[in-house]
Structure formats: C-alpha cells, structure tokens
C-alpha cells in the first residue's frame, strides 16, 4: 500500500499560506493561498448540484480556456458565494483579479474557491485585505496553516502527502465535515504535485491521457465514496495542479496509482471529522448484480438516518441495514443476502448476522460490543453478479450533528 502521511513538509515549486482576514469573528484562519513559481497543468472536478456557486462557475470557465498555465488558487471561508447572482460571479472574478495583481500573473492563471453560508455576498474589503496578507505570508512549509485556513465546521486540518520513489511528491489539503454525500462529495480539496504531467510512454490501454482523466478517476474511488449526511453542496470542488518542478516526468499509470490513496486519505479524513461523528464506518457491498446496483445499495445504507443513529447508539439493529438495502434501486434476492459486522476498518467478516432471509443465531452481546467500537465494517454479500465490490465510508449520526446544523448561521 502506498505510504501516505497526514502531514506535508513541502512540494517543490509551491508556496502556500493561511491567514486571518477578519471573515471569522473568533480570529481563526479564514483564507488560504496556494501559488506555484511556474505554470501548472490543472484540472478540476466539481459539484453535480445544479445550484452551482459562483466560484465553481468561474473555475469551470477558467479551466475550459486555460488548463496548462494555472499559477494560483485563492480560498475563502465563512461565505460560500452561492446563490448570489451576477454580483457573486463578479466578486469571484474580482478575487481572481486582485490575486493576479498581487502576484504579478494573469487573471486566467488564478482559480478561486469559497466555502461557508449560502446566499450571502462576499465582504470584498476583507477579501482584498486577506489576499494581500496571504501573498505576504507565502512560504514553502505553511501547509498546515493553509489547511486550517479553509476549515469551516471542521475540527482539525486535513492533509495528505506521498513521496514517490521516482523523486517527486504528491500532496493535498481538504475541508469538509458536514453536507457530505457520495456524488462529488461535498468538500473543497486541492492536490498538487511537482511531477511533470506529460506522461511519457503511457500505458498502452490509455488513450490521450490528461490530468482531468486522472483526477476524475481518483475522485470516483475516494471523494465520491464518502457520506456524512447525504446532502450535496453548491460548492464541491477538487483541484489538481502539476508544475513539474521536480524535473521528473511521471508515467500516467504510475502517477494515477499514487494519486488514488492520497485522495482516499483526504476523503476518509473528512468522514472521521464528520459533524458530531463518534464512529468511522466502512460499508462494503459484494456480488451485487452490477456496479450501479452495488453503488446504490452502499449509498442507501450510508445515508440512512435510521442506520446511522443505530450506529451512534451502539445498537446492532441489522434490520435497518437490510431494509435500507431493500429500498435502494438495486435488484436483490433477500434469500441470498449475507450480512456481517466487524471491528476495525479491514474486511474480515467477523460476525454473521443475517443469511437465508432471516437472522442467524449470533451472540447479541458480541454484536453490541462490535457496534460500540470506534471503527466498524459492514459487509453485505448480495449472492449474485460479479465479485468486485463497492465501498463507501460513512459515520454515525449524533445529537451533536443536530446542534451544529441547527445553529449553523447563528
């Protein structure tokens, strides 16, 4: 397994910062800037929510015209700049303009991200001041500050890094704790690499590979497989920048293989920090009729309030899991289903709870003990179709989740 770390030292050619611009009243860091000394190949994956925030619209337009010489990403918290009309679009572009002016680069070389409350306009005086502070604070080793500068209800910064044997690095930061659903999961993420992304000698089966293909693939096996509450946001964005500063050209298949666990590390960190979460839950579906059915079953279980509250209470209420699978859009034969729960995060089929259409003679105390663990695996074998499985990572649903979201704007 790729050795991914939860810290970032530095990545050649990149400077970052995290500062307090006055957006948060408590003095916490609330803006971040990522800057490359040289132009980057760039790609992004964005929300599937039709109510796209202004920065999502602006980034999509920017990348459609320029994906080969991006230099910077500016991020603000507290205000999502979503559902803000033309003024919101203009403000997002003004963020590009101010950042470009302070860095001495082109406006089309800047991408923007925002997170926070929907429906409020950006406080542009504070944003302008923050951009200046962020540029002045740029440094090669400020990654934790940058990760903190993009947090909202997160309780801790989320970082991941990997140093390849070939000599280049891949690193990323992310934010997210609530409004998380497995469909370009609700979050912000930024991944950088100092590898050159021109992919010499790509694998024979890969046709015209590019950074976008790689990032979409990485997102499908990570950010699209997490759920906290089942809501998708207006601002979901994951960006990837490759500047080639290491002087090493990475093969497409090698870099892609190394990117996936970095993305997964960040995605799992979002779930572990889910709003009010007390348990990390792995849901694995095998032998479903096809891939889409496996995904439907996994996502239905992962977002079921009844399932999630049972996990919070340590209640081995397997009936809720089976019922959730049954109401998914998947084809199922109830008599072929087998359901296991296990301690930890590895698939090991520890305790069989259900088979042949009815509960097994399992030990209720043992089941309860497993459900009280901080990390739990649920494995459902559907008994038909291909053996390849589908995995989603989720968490429980606690009283604190309601408290956090009941007073989010206040």
How confident is the model at residue 198, as a pLDDT? 66
CA 187 to chain centre: 5
Which of 62, 77, 99, 186 is flagged as catalytic? 186
How confident is the model at residue 331, as a pLDDT? 94
* pLDDT in 10s for each residue of the chain, 410 residues: 469 999 999 999 999 999 999 999 999 999 999 999 999 999 999 988 888 999 999 999 999 999 999 999 999 999 999 999 999 999 999 999 999 999 999 999 999 999 998 999 999 999 999 999 999 999 999 999 999 999 988 889 999 999 999 999 999 999 976 555 545 545 799 999 999 876 555 444 444 468 999 999 999 999 989 887 666 678 889 999 999 999 998 888 899 999 999 999 999 998 888 777 889 999 999 999 999 999 999 999 999 999 999 999 999 999 999 999 999 989 999 999 999 999 999 999 999 999 999 999 999 999 999 999 999 999 999 998 877 799 999 988 877 667 656 665 54
Cβ pair 192, 244 in contact under 8 A: no
Cβ pair 265, 4 in contact under 8 A: yes
How confident is the model at residue 399, as a pLDDT? 75
What whole-number distance in Å separates Cα of residue 327 and Cα of residue 335? 16
- Is 47 catalytic? The answer is no
Buried b (16+ CB within 10 A) or exposed e, 179-206: bbbbebbbbbbbbbbbbbbebeebeeee
List CB contacts of 74: < 8 A, sequence separation 6 or more.
31, 32, 33, 95, 96, 99, 110, 111, 112, 113, 131, 134
Report residue 305 as tokens. 């309030």
Cβ pair 246, 198 in contact under 8 A: no
How confident is the model at residue 204, as a pLDDT? 42
Beta bridge partners of 111: 73
**CA angle 217–110–185, rounded 5-degree value:** 35
> Which residue in the block uniquely carries the two structure tokens 């809720």?
320
How confident is the model at residue 345, as a pLDDT? 95
Q: Quickly count: other Cβ atoms within 10 Å of residue 141's Cβ.
A: 11
How confident is the model at residue 206, as a pLDDT? 42
List CB contacts of 100: < 8 A, sequence separation 6 or more.
72, 106, 107, 109, 110
CA torsion through residues 2, 376, 153, 296, sign: positive
Environment class of 65 (CB within 10 Å of its CB; exposed 0-12, middle 13-18, buried 19+) = exposed
How confident is the model at residue 176, as a pLDDT? 79
Q: Quickly count: other Cβ atoms within 10 Å of residue 335's Cβ.
A: 10
**Domains of the chain with CATH codes:** 14-272 (3.60.70.12), 280-406 (3.10.20.340)
How confident is the model at residue 274, as a pLDDT? 74
Query: Nearest 5°: phi and psi at 55?
Result: -65, -30
Cβ pair 288, 383 in contact under 8 A: no
């Amino acid at each position: 397994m790729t050795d991914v770390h939860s810290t970032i030292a530095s990545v050649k050619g990149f400077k970052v910062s995290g500062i307090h611009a006055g957006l948060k009243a408590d003095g916490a860091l609330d803006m971040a800037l990522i800057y490359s000394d040289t132009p980057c190949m760039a790609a992004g994956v964005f929300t599937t929510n039709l109510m796209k925030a202004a920065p999502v619209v602006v980034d999509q337009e920017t990348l459609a015209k320029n994906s080969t010489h991006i230099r910077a990403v500016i991020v603000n918290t507290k205000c999502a700049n979503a559902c803000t009309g033309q003024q919101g679009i203009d403000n997002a572009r003004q963020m590009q303009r101010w950042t470009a002016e302070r860095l001495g680069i082109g406006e089309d070389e800047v991408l923007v991200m925002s997170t926070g409350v929907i429906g409020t306009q950006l406080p542009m005086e504070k944003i302008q001041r923050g951009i200046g502070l962020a540029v002045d604070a740029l440094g090669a080793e400020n990654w934790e500050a940058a990760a903190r500068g993009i947090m909202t209800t997160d309780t801790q910064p989320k970082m991941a890094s990997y140093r390849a044997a070939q000599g280049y690095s891949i690193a990323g930061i992310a934010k997210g704790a609530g409004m998380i659903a497995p469909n370009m999961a609700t979050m912000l993420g930024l991944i950088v690499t100092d590898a050159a992304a021109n992919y010499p000698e790509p694998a024979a089966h890969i046709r015209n590979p590019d950074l976008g293909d790689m990032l979409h693939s990485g997102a499908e096996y990570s950010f699209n497989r997490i759920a906290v509450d089942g809501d998708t946001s207006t601002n979901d964005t994951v960006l990837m920048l490759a500047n080639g500063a290491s002087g090493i050209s990475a093969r497409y298949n090698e870099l892609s293989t190394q990117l996936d666990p970095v993305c997964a590390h960040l995605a799992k960190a979002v779930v572990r920090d889910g709003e009010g979460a007390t348990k990390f839950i792995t849901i694995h579906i095998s032998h479903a009729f096809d891939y889409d059915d496996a995904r439907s079953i996994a996502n239905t279980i992962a977002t079921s309030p009844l399932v999630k509250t049972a996990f919070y209470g340590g209640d081995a209420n397997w009936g809720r899991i089976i019922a959730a699978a049954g109401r998914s859009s998947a084809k199922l034969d109830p008599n072929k289903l087998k359901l296991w729960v296990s301690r930890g995060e590895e698939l090991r089929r520890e305790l069989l709870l259900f088979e042949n259409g009815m509960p097994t003679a399992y030990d209720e105390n043992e089941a309860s003990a497993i459900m009280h663990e901080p990390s739990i695996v649920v494995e459902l074998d559907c008994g038909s179709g291909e053996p390849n499985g589908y995995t989603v990572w989720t968490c429980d649903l606690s009283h604190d989740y309601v408290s956090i979201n009941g007073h989010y704007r206040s």
